[in-house]
Chain A
Amino acid sequence: MGVANKNAKAMTPQQQMEFAVTLKREPSMSSSCNSTPLHPRSSQDADLGDDDGTPVGATLDVYMGDADPFPLPVDSEHKARKMKLFSFAPPHMLAFHLSWFSFFATFVSSFAPAPLLPVIRDNLDLTGRDIGNAGTASVAGSIASRLVIGALCDLVGPRYACAFLLLLTAPAVFTLASVSTATGFIVSRFLIGLSLGSFVTCQFWMSSMFSAEVVGTVNGTTAGWANLGGGASLLIMPLVYHLIEGPMGFDRFVAWRIAFVVPGFIQVLSALLVLVLGQDLPDGNYQELKVKGEQNTDTAWKVIFYAVINPKTWVFALSYGYCFGVELTVDNILTSYFFDRFDLPLHTAGVVASTFGLANIVTRPFGGYLSDWMAQNLGMRGRLWALWSVQTAGGMACIFLGRIGHLAGTIVVMIVFSCFAEMAAGATFGVIPFISRRSLGVISGIVGAGGILGAVLTQLIFFTSSAYSTETGISLMGIMIICCTFPIIGVYFPQWGGMLRPASTSPSATEEAYYLREWSQEEQRQGMHLASLKFAENSRGERGKRVAPQPVLNPMSSSATLALGAGVQYKMA
C-alpha cells in the first residue's frame, strides 16, 4: 500500500487531498462531487505507482499500519472515499447518520405546526394573514442563520455548531405550548425556523468526513433524507395529537400544545447524540486538533468577494429558491389545502400531504444522480439541461395542480410536481461545486439561503393575502417557477459551454484558466492556487466526450500528462 512520502508532507493538507484524488479518469467517472451513488472505485484502489500518468509523489490510499485502520478506505486526510449506507461505524458513517438525523429533526420541528393549524387557528384566533406570516417566519430566520453558521463551524467545529443551533432553538419548540396570541405564534415559528441553518453544519460536516469523490452523493443523500422531516411531521403530528386528544382525553386546545413535546424531544435527543457520539474530523475533535497542525486559511473577505461577483451564484440562488423554496412553501400549505378544499379529515389530509415531502427519500438523490448521468455523455451542458428541464417540468406540473378540482387528480399531479421539484434541488448541487473552487463554501451558503428566500417570497406573494384563493396561488407559483428557472439558459462556462452555446474553441478556454482567474498573480506566487489547479484537472470530465483544445501552459502544474480513459490525451508542453 502507498505511504505518504516526503514530497506530500511538504504540502498543505488541502494539497495532499487534491493529489490523492487526481487519478486515472474514466468516462464513467464524473468529477468530484455528486458521483454515482455507491459506484465502486475498485479501479482506483488498485492503481498505485504505475505509469498511468498520475503525478509524481501522489498518494492514493493511506494505510495507517496496525495503528488504527479506519473501517472505510480513506485518503491522505483520512476522509472516507466510499459510503456504506447501512453502517454506523465511527467516525465517518456514524457522522453521516448523526448529521442527517439532526438536520431531519430541525425539519420536523419547523413544520410541526402546519398539520395542526386547523386546531391552532381556532385556539389562537388566527386570521389568514397571521397564518401566512407565521409560515413565512418559519423559514425566514434560516436565511440569516445559514449565512452565519458557516463562520461558527470554522470556529468551534460542525459538532458544536449543530448542537448550538438545535439546543438553543429547542426552547422555542417547547414554549409553543404557552403561546396564546398570533404574535407569539409568529415569533415562535421564527425562532424555530432558525434551526434550519443546520443545513450548513450538515454539509460542512460531510465535507470534512468524506472525500471529493463521494461528497456530492453524501451531501445529496443527507439533504434529501433530512427534507423528509417536512413530510414526516405531517404524518407524526396529527397522530400524536389524536392520541392525546382521543385516548388520553385532553381538550383540543390543550392536546395540540402537549403534542409539541415530541418534536422538541427529538431535537434535543439528536443534538445530545451528536455531542456524545460524533466527532468533528476523522482524526478527532476541533478542540483537540487545534493545538496541532496549521492550516492554509484564506481571507474571509476574499472568499466572499469571489462568490458575490460571480453571476452564476445569483442565477442558481434564484433557481434554487424556486425548486427547494417552493417545496418548503408547499409543505406549509398542503394539509390545509386538502382539509379546506376537499374536506378531508385532518389526519387523512396530513397523510396525503406528507407524501409530498416524503418523496425526498429517493427524488433528491436521484436528481444528483441524473445530473451525473447526463454529465457522462454531455458534460456540464448535460447537467444544465437536466436541471433546467426538470425544474421547468415541475413548474408546469404546479400550474396544473392549482387547476384541478378533484381529489384524485390533485394527488397524482402533486406527486409528479414533488418528483420534479425535488430532483431539481438535487441536480442544483450537481452544478454548484463547479462554479468556483475558492469560494465553494460561501456559494453553497448563498444558494442555500436563496432557497429559503424563495420560500419566503412565495409564501408572502401568493399565500398570505386573501386576494386570491390557494388554488390560484398555486398556479401562479408554477408560472413563477418557470420564469425563475429561465436564467439558467444564460449560464456559460467557456471551457464547457452553456445550454445553448457550445464551448469556446479559443485555446485559452480551459478549466485551469477558469479556476485560476480567482487567484491574483501574487497569490499564485505564494502557491495558494494549487488546490484549484488540481480541481481543474479533476473537472475535465465535465467536457463530456468532446475533444478539448490543449490546455494553457502553467508552470506550477505538476502533471506531465493526464490520460483520459476515453483515449484522449492532453499534453502539457
Chain B
Amino acid sequence: MEAYSHFAIGLLLCSVMLCGHLSQGLQRFSELKNSLILEYVAKNGTKAGEGTISVTWKLDTAAVSAADAAFADYKNVHIKLCFGAVSQVDRAWRKTNDLLSKDKTCPYEMGAQPYTPEGGSITWTVTKEIPFAFYFIRAYVTNTAKEKIAYGQTSNKQRTTNLFTIEPITGRHASLDIAAAVFSAFSVISLFGFYFGEKRFIKKG
C-alpha cells in the first residue's frame, strides 16, 4: 500500500512539473534555441503608414540541422518588431522579461509564415500605430501547439546593435487644430459676453 501511495504522489508531482514545463505561462526566452538567421532591409526613419521593411529568414544549419528541426516540430515562423534596449529605458511598459508570457519586448507582429527548411521572406508596410523608437526584428518559431520553441533576431543579445528607427505619424491634423482653436475661442468669448452683457442688462433694467 505504501508503495502505491508513494508511486501515486510521485506520478502526480511529475505530471504537475511536466504540465508546468509545457504550459506557455512558464516558458522562458533563455530556453529557446537561436536557430534562425535573419536579414532585413529597413532604412532609418522608415515612415509609418508608407514605408516598408523586408525580412528574409532561414534556418541556421550550423546550430540546428534540418532533420532536427523537423523532429522538434518547427511549424510556423512569426516575425515581430521589437524595441531596442535604448527605447526601453524608463518605460516600464516595454520591459523585457525572461518569462515569455510577461515579456513586452516584441509587441508588433509583422507577419507569419509556415516553416520551410529553405526559409522565406516577407515585406511589411509599417502600420500607423507604431510609435517612435529604436527597433530590431525577431522571428519566433512555434510548434503545432503554438508554443515558441526557437527564435532568431537581427540584434545582439543585449538588443543594442543593428537598431533602426521608424518615423511615426504625429496624429495631428490641421482640421483638428482648427476645431480646437474654434471651440477655445467660443469658450472664452462666451464668458466675457455673458459678464458684460449682464452688466449692461442690469444698467438698463
Contact = CB atoms under 8 A, between A and B. Distances in A.
Interface in A124-145: 125, 127-129
Nearest to B183: A174
A397 to B, nearest CB: 24
B172 A128 contact: no
B29 interface: no
Contact of A264 (B181, B183, B190): B183
Contacts of A528: none
B191 A167 contact: yes
Contacts of B177: 177-178
A24 interface: no
Contacts of B187: 167-168, 170-171, 174, 268, 271
B186 interface: yes
A275 B201 CA distance: 14
B194 interface: yes
B190 A466 contact: no
Contacts of B173: 254
A175 B180 contact: yes
A163 B194 contact: yes
A83 B197 CA distance: 33
Contacts of A264: 183
A469 B171 contact: no
Name, among A129, A167, A265, A339, the residue most crowded by chain B CB atoms within 10 Å (CB to CB). A167
B129 interface: yes
Contacts, number: 108
Interface string A172-198: 001101101000000000000000000
Interface string A244-281: 00000001111011100100110010011001000000
A127 B91 contact: yes
B90 A253 contact: no
Interface string A271-293: 11001000000000101100000
Given A178-B176, A466-B92, A164 B169 contact: no
A275 B184 contact: no
B129 A129 contact: no
A102 to B, nearest CB: 13
Interface in B3-57: none
B171 to A, nearest CB: 3
A168 B128 contact: no
A336 B184 CA distance: 30
Contact of A287 (B89, B102, B129, B199): B199
B170 interface: yes
B120 interface: no
Interface in B81-106: 89-93, 102
B117 interface: no
A123 B168 contact: yes
Contact of B180 (A121, A127, A177, A339): A177
A396 B195 CA distance: 49
B114 interface: no
Contacts of A275: 194
A52 interface: no
Name, among A178, A258, A275, the residue most crowded by chain B CB atoms within 10 Å (CB to CB). A178
A122 interface: yes
Range of interface residues on A (Cβ < 8 Å): 35 or more
B168 A253 contact: yes
A257 B171 contact: yes
B1 interface: no
Interface string A319-349: 0000000000000000010011001000000
Contacts of A164: 191
B38 to A, nearest CB: 25
Contacts of B62: none
Contacts of B194: 163, 275
Interface SS majority for chain B: helix
B202 interface: yes
Contact of A177 (B176, B188, B198): B176
B64 interface: no
Interface string A193-234: 000000000000000000000000000000000000000000
A268 to B, nearest CB: 5
Given A170-B183, A174-B183, A128 B190 contact: no
A275 B177 CA distance: 28
A174 B133 CA distance: 28
Name, among B129, B173, B183, B199, the residue most crowded by chain A CB atoms within 10 Å (CB to CB). B183
A343 B133 CA distance: 22
Contacts of A129: 90
Interface in A91-126: 118, 121-123, 125
A177 B194 CA distance: 27
B164 interface: no
A257 B93 CA distance: 22
Contacts of A174: 179-181, 183-184, 187
A160 interface: yes
Nearest to A465: B90
A168 B188 contact: yes
Contact of B131 (A125, A156, A343): A125
A288 B198 CA distance: 10
Nearest to A127: B90
A271 B57 CA distance: 61
A118 B180 CA distance: 23
A128 B91 contact: yes
A253 B183 contact: no
A252 B169 CA distance: 10
Contacts of B133: 125
A253 B93 contact: no
A263 to B, nearest CB: 12
A252 B188 contact: no
Given A180-B170, A253-B168, A254-B171, A268 B186 contact: yes
Nearest to B186: A268
A177 to B, nearest CB: 5
Contacts of A272: 190
Interface string A481-494: 00000000000000
Contacts of A178: 172, 176-177, 180
Contacts of B128: 251-253
25 contacts: A118-B93, A121-B93, A122-B168, A123-B171, A125-B133, A128-B90, A128-B91, A163-B191, A164-B191, A171-B180, A171-B188, A175-B181, A175-B184, A178-B172, A180-B170, A251-B128, A253-B171, A254-B169, A254-B171, A257-B172, A258-B176, A271-B191, A287-B198, A336-B93, A343-B102
Interface of A: 118, 121-123, 125, 127-129, 156, 160, 163-164, 167-168, 170-171, 174-175, 177-178, 180, 251-254, 256-258, 261, 264-265, 268, 271-272, 275, 285, 287-288, 336, 339-340, 343, 466, 469-470
Nearest 5 interchain pairs by C-beta: A253-B171, A171-B184, A122-B131, A167-B191, A174-B180
